[in-house]
Structure 1
C-alpha cells in the first residue's frame, strides 16, 4: 500500500460517503471505501485500477461529472498542476471537504499553502513521512483547463511552430535543453511511420510532421495532460498525427521507420528509469529492419551499452549542455 493511502486509512472520515480520489496510486485503497471513485491521468495506473476496480476509475484531464461529499488529491510533482487539480476538485464539492495528501519530500508542506485559496487549511495527520491536510466547504472557482495552457513559438526565422503545453507537462511553457539539441539532429530519417515516444507537448512529433510531411507520425505518452497538449500543438499548426495514450513502448505500433525520443527518467519525487530502459530493450520489436532509434539523454545515463545490446551499434551524433544525442539502427 502506498504510504499516502495508509495515512488516509488512519482518517476514515476522508473516505466516508461519495468520495473522489484524484491521482490515486495503483494500490488497494478503493477496497476500503466502497463509495469512492478514482480519477487518474496516468495510463499505467489507470489500467491497473480499472482491471482491479472496473467501472470505478475515470481517466482524463477533467474530473468526472457529479457532486461529491469529499475529494482527495494525491499531491502531484508540478505546482501548476496541483493548482488546477485543487480548483477542479473544489468545483465538484457543493458542501463537502477537500483533502490534500502527499509526501514531505514531495513538498506537501509548501503545497498546503495552495489550499489557502479555497479556505482555511487544517493539518489532520502526519505519518509515514506524509501529511494530510483538509479544507472544509472549499470556495468553488473553476476555469477551463485550456485557459491555463501556455504557448511559445519555435523556429521564428524559419517555419514557425507554436507549442501549446498544459500544467504538469514536462518543461511546461518552455523548450528544454535536451529537446533543443535533439531538434537540431533530425536530418535524414528513414521513410515510413515515425514515433515521438514520450511526446509531452508534442514538440518533436509536430516538428517531424513539419519536416517529413509524407511520413505518418505517432505521438505517445503515458500522461493524459501530455497527450492533450500534443493534440493542441498539432491543431495550432494545422498538422496531423496519431495520438496514443499508453504506458510505455508496448503501446506503440510495429514496423516503424524511426523512434525519436527525449525519454523520461523521473517520476514524481523518485528517480525512475524503467520506461526508458524498456524502450531500449523493446525498440527492436517496433522498428522495421533498418529502422532507427534516435534519442537525447543526460550524458551521465549509461544508455549506449543497452542500445548496443538490444538494437545495434550506437553512434553519438552530438553533445552539449550535459546531453547527448544517440543513433542506432535495427539490424536487418
Structure 2
C-alpha cells in the first residue's frame, strides 16, 4: 500500500463519514473507507480504481458534485496544481475539514503552509516519510476558474506563430521544453494519414502537426486530465481541430496510424518511471500501418535504439543536440 495511504489508516478514526479522496493512489484505500469516493486526474490510476471500486471514483479536472464531511488531498508534484486543488476543495468545504497528506521529499511541509489561508492548520501525524495535515475551513475561497489559470505563450514557428496554453500541473507549464523544441524542428516528410501525438501535454506538438499536415487526422493522447484540457485550449486558440483523448499509455491509442510522434514523459510525481515509454516502443508496431513511422525525442542517455530496433525496425538518429536525440524508425 502507498505510504501516504498507510498514514491515513493510522488516523482512520478521523474518516468515518462521507469522504472525498483527491489524487488518491490506486491501492486498497477505498476498501477501508466504505463511504469514501475518489477524484483522480490520472487515467491509469482511475482505470485501476474504477475496476476495483466501480462507480466510486471520478475522473476530471474538477471534483464531482458530491456532499462530503471531509476531503483529503494527496499532494501532487506541482506547486501551481496544489494551489488550484486546495482552493477547489476548500471552496466546497466551508466549516468542514480539509486534510493534506504527502511525502516529505515532495515538499509537504512547504505545501502545508498554503492551508493557513483557510484556517488554523495543524500537523496530525508523521510516519512512513510522510506527513498528514488538517485544517477546518473557516475562510472559504471562491471556486477557482481553471481556464483563467492557464499560462499562454507564443511560439514563432516557420509557418506562423502558434499560441500555447498550459494549465497547472502540465509538463513544462508556461514554457517550451528543450526536447519539444528540438522535435518541432524535425517534423518534415511524415507519411499522410492518421498521426498520433503520444503524451500530448499542452498540445504543442499536436497543434503544430495539424497545422503542418491539415489533411491528416491528428489524435492527441495523454494520461493526465489537465494535459487533455490544455491541449483542447491550445487547439481552440489556433482554430485547429483534432481528437484529444485520455488514456493510460499506447494501449489507449487508435490503430492504423501512419505516424506516432512523442516527447514521452518519464516522471510521475517525484518518481522516475520509464515504463510508459518502453511500453510504447514495444507496442508501437501494433498501432502503425505497414508503412507507419515512429519519431520521438528522448534524453540522449536513455538507451532506446536497441528497444526500437527489436520491436519496430532500423533506428535512425535525426538529431543530437542539447542532451536530446531525435529517433526515427519505420515499421519493417
For Structure 1 versus Structure 2, the TM-score category normalised by the shorter chain is: over 0.9
CA distance in 2, matches of 1:239, 1:45: 30
Mapped partners of 1:309, 1:157: distance in 2: 35
8 A contact 2:94–2:139 mirrored in 1: no
Q: CA deviation at 1:158?
A: 4.2
Match of 1:290 in 2: 291
Alpha-carbon separation, structure 1, partners of 2:286 and 2:92: 44
Q: 1:140 to 1:291 in 2, by over 3 A?
A: same
Equivalents in 2 of 1:157, 1:266: separation in Å? 31
Post-superposition offset of 1:302: 0.5
| Equivalent position of 1:145 in the other structure | 146
Query: Is there any run of 5+ residues in structure 1 with no aligned partner, and where?
Result: none
What SS class does the counterpart of residue 155 from structure 1 fall into?
strand
**Residues 317 and 327, structure 1, Cα contact 8 Å, conserved in 2:** yes
Aligned 8 A contact 1:182 1:295 in 2 = yes
**Which residue is equivalent to 2:275?**
274
CA displacement 1:206-251 (0-9 Å, x = unmatched): 0000000000000000000000100111111110101110000000
State the secondary structure of the residue aligned to 1:280: helix
Match of 1:70 in 2: 70
Note the alpha carbon deviations across 1:50-70, whole angstroms, 9 max, x for none.
Answer: 111111111100011133211
1:51 aligns with 2:58: no
Aligned to 1:123: 123
CA distance in 2 between partners of 1:279 and 1:156 (Å): 28
| Superposition pairs of residues 21-32 of structure 1, within 5 angstroms | 21-32=21-32
Taking the TM superposition and a 5 Å limit, the aligned residue runs for 1:1-332 are 1-141=1-141, 142-155=143-156, 158-331=159-332
Contact 1:199-1:227 at 8 Å conserved across structures: yes
Q: Measure the CA separation in 2 of the matches of 1:100 and 1:183.
A: 39
Residues of 1 paired with 2:22 and 2:138: CA distance?
16
Q: In the TM superposition, what is the alpha-carbon distance from 1:113 to its structure 2 partner? A: 1.3
Q: TM-score, normalized by length of structure 2?
A: 0.98
Name which of structure 1's ranges 30-39 and 192-201 shifts more when overlaid on structure 2: 30-39
Q: Are the equivalent residues in 1 in contact too, given 2:202–2:231 (CA < 8 A)?
A: yes
1:100-136 deviations in whole A, cap 9, x for unaligned?
0001111111111121222222000000110000111
- How far is the alpha carbon of 1:35 from its aligned partner? 1.1
| Runs of at least 5 residues in structure 2 that lack an aligned partner in the other structure | none
Q: Is the 8 A contact 2:197 2:218 kept in 1?
A: yes
Is the CA contact 1:66–1:92 (under 8 Å) kept in the aligned structure 2? no
Comparing 150-159 with 210-219, which one deviates more in the overlay?
A: 150-159
1:17-53 C-alpha deviation (Å, 9 max, x unpaired): 1111000000111111111110000001111111111
State the alpha-carbon separation in 1 of the partners of residues 241 and 34 from structure 2: 43
User: In the comparison of the two structures, how many residue pairs are matched?
Assistant: 331
**What's the TM-score once normalised by structure 1's chain length?**
0.98
- The Cα RMSD (Å) is 1.0
The CA distance in 2 between the partners of 1:14 and 1:87, in whole Å, is 22
Q: Does the 8 Å contact 1:120/1:135 carry over to 2?
A: yes
Q: Distance in 2 between the 1:114 and 1:303 partners?
A: 41
Contact 1:3–1:128, Cα closer than 8 Å, also in 2: yes
Shift of residue 14 of structure 1?
Answer: 3.7
CA contact (8 A) 1:19 1:35 kept: yes
